[in-house]
Structure 1
């Protein structure tokens, strides 16, 4: 007789696939316990499941209820042919006594206990829930028709692989608003790009890489999946690579090259370093924004630069700022 029952049945009937024997299970999840002897109890999974009894009880309720709120749904149900009714109810399942939403994380952790990386359980679950919420939104918006078990298993395997010795967990992409970009327009690494006439759009993309790399490293450190020493070693590798490419640039640059030629050489060096995203902090972490962002961070500190005379430009910039 429940209003919620008939609302749910109506929603299922609205899909026009009620008589598809190969259609998905139609599942009601509730924290309440089904009353013994009710249609809901007859649709629980297990050896006592009895769809025929549930069908009899639902038909009885549909005929005997006097609720105006469920009248249309009950009538539509009764107008189904006996064969369609049988298939329809046979696909219904009731998962009663389910955990409250506040207990779900604990329940899922228990199921995944052997897969969770020791000491990093919270980060793992944060990534898994983030993926799941994204899929739920797609479902609610009608962008996908369902989520199958293989997709869930694949995502769990993908996340688990990020916690190997040669991988790092990937965070959801950080949205960088225009106000954040504006805050960085006077940073040293931005000046460095202007000295080699990097375009405004490329400068904006560089700020995004810089910001995302900074946030990502901060999250790793906060979650204790990486230490400052490993990040420091990676920065030294990037700096060594820059030194090598800079020497190539200077070797090709004529001693009497004019300012325009020097800017072009610096722009070429910057492009080369931005393209060498294969230099990874760990072998299985392949996010391209991270090495690019870390290069800009090193440029912001003045450890590396793009213009052949970037040190002189830095000195002039510091003098100007101190005045």
Structure 2
């Protein structure tokens, strides 16, 4: 079990380390290998096998961990069309065990002591030996490669030995992400909580709606900013220039639910135009934040949930005294009050905790929620918005 968790957190660590030089790097898991890294194309630039042993010890040249990895890599390379030297992915074994001097593992580590030719000769000697039977098939598979293929294979092979064991990974993660020591536990708890949810999506194979192909270093950096900003208070950039909407822009929203919600409480054109201005620019600003990885979809969903919660308290409080016998005029009056108080409250809610956000982003985002309101959950302004939303949906279906 620790081995699987190690694989998951190793993918996070490797992605964090790449983020400094290549924020466009992407990671995926269990497609062609334990962990894969993509760099601007569908073909992996690196195939990584992760091996965790709590009692480190030394790597055995005839060990199952290595030779089964070799067989896995050969199979993966066949699936991507046996790439040539130019497009050959890096084949990397990350292990908590240690490479002893004189072994081919030692010769395939990064650094000045790397010697591909000597490692190749030693690997072929081990592969051709009589035993052990536990790796006979995998060693045979390697020897069936042509001499040039074996050289290309070994040339692409990198041994990363002495990796921290699972219980020591947190300090490596904190360093890779640049997290301050006094914030390490709090920030890592949130980052790892997010990462494990992402990992489940990466590993999902049955439900397309719940799966994702990969995660980029840029998205990790964005999530790290969101979490770190709770302690630093950094504000999201405002790039939208607030302006009056044209008559054509306003008219384009004429049949949208966001406008219907305002019509149901009796708002006039001038008030609707003002609220639509917030709605229009907040939509564009949120899209810009998502596009440029200033906020993640999870961070935005958290913000919207906080806005919804403010509305819910206000709506329940102001509509509690109404009943089925209440006059329509009274209901509209209450609805206007719900809208006004909600707008005042959400204008002060930051898009990212610990920061500040201009008021029109909160007001406009609240209208976005009203535009896609759930009849059972809201948000809405009119006390009877639930039935009004259902009636509208029924009419549209007809």
Determine which structure has the larger strand proportion and give its number.
2
Give the deviation of 1:156 after TM superposition. 3.8
Offset from partner CA, 1:3-33 (integer Å, 9 cap, x none)? 1111111111221356564344222121111
**Count of residue pairs brought into register by the alignment:** 221
Query: For 2:355, which of 264, 282, 290 is the aligned residue?
Result: 282
- Aligned counterparts, 1:37-186, within 5 A: 37-112=102-177, 115-117=178-180, 119-141=182-204, 152-167=220-235
**What does residue 22 of structure 2 align with?**
none
Change (3 A) 1:123 1:73: same
**What does residue 15 of structure 1 align with?**
76
- Larger of the two Rg values belongs to structure: 1
Offset from partner CA, 1:100-142 (integer Å, 9 cap, x none)? 1101102332445xx4357433222223323443444444447
2:64–2:135 contact (8 Å) kept in structure 1: yes
**What does residue 3 of structure 1 align with?**
64
- Aligned counterparts, 1:291-310, within 5 A: none
2:93–2:159 contact (8 Å) kept in structure 1: yes
Give the deviation of 1:161 after TM superposition. 4.2
1:192–1:307 contact (8 Å) kept in structure 2: no
Change (3 A) 1:291 1:194: same
CA–CA distance in structure 1, aligned partners of residues 100 and 227 of structure 2: 40
**What does residue 263 of structure 1 align with?**
331
- Aligned counterparts, 1:21-32, within 5 A: 21-32=86-97
1:55–1:89 contact (8 Å) kept in structure 2: yes
2:92 match: secondary structure: strand
CA–CA distance in structure 2, aligned partners of residues 81 and 18 of structure 1: 14
1:117–1:124 contact (8 Å) kept in structure 2: no
**What does residue 34 of structure 1 align with?**
99
1:37 match: secondary structure: coil
2:94–2:161 contact (8 Å) kept in structure 1: yes
Provide the alpha-carbon RMSD of the alignment: 4.4
1:19–1:84 contact (8 Å) kept in structure 2: no
Q: Which moved more, 1:116-125 or 1:101-110?
A: 116-125
Change (3 A) 1:155 1:72: same
Change (3 A) 1:62 1:54: same
Q: Which moved more, 1:76-85 or 1:129-138?
A: 129-138
Give the deviation of 1:151 after TM superposition. 5.2
Name structure 2 gaps, 5 residues minimum. Answer: 1-61, 206-210, 237-294, 300-311, 368-380, 384-398
Change (3 A) 1:56 1:279: same
CA–CA distance in structure 1, aligned partners of residues 99 and 189 of structure 2: 32
2:349–2:357 contact (8 Å) kept in structure 1: no
CA–CA distance in structure 1, aligned partners of residues 316 and 182 of structure 2: 41
CA–CA distance in structure 2, aligned partners of residues 190 and 15 of structure 1: 57
Name structure 1 gaps, 5 residues minimum. Answer: 175-186, 199-257, 293-305, 309-323
CA–CA distance in structure 1, aligned partners of residues 165 and 327 of structure 2: 68
CA–CA distance in structure 2, aligned partners of residues 83 and 146 of structure 1: 33
